[in-house]
Amino acid sequence: MDKNFLWGCSSTAYQSEGASSEDGKGPSVWDVFTSVPGRTLGNTDGRIGVDFYHRWEGDLDLMAEMGLKLYHFSISWPRVLPEGRGRVNEAGLAFYDKVVDGCISRGIEPMITLYHWDLPQALQDAYGGWEDPQCIDDFLAYAKLLFEHFKGRVKYWITINEANIFTKFGWLTAMHPPAKFDQKIPFFRVNHHLFLAHAKAVLLAKELLPDAKVGASFAYGPGYAFDCDPRNAEARQNFDELENYWWLDVYCMGDYPMVGEHYARMNGWMPDIPDEDRALFREAAEAMDFIGVNYYHSNVCEYNPPDGAQPFGTPNVTGEQGVDAVTGLPGLYKNPPNPYLRTTDWDWTIDATGLKFACRELTSRYRKPIFITENGLGHFDSVESDGRIHDGYRVKFLRQHIAAVEEAVDMGCDILGYCVWTFTDLLSWLNGYQKRYGLVYVDQDESMQGSLARTPKDSYYWYQSVIASRGRVL
The CA–CA distances, whole Å, from 295 to 126, 333, 385 equal 35, 21, 33
Dist CA 390 CA 111 (whole Å): 29
From the list 131, 162, 241, 243, the catalytic residue is 162
Residues 428, 348: contact at Cβ < 8 Å?
Answer: no
Known catalytic membership, residue 162: yes
From the list 243, 261, 374, 406, the catalytic residue is 374
Known catalytic membership, residue 17: no
Residues with catalytic annotation? Answer: 162, 374
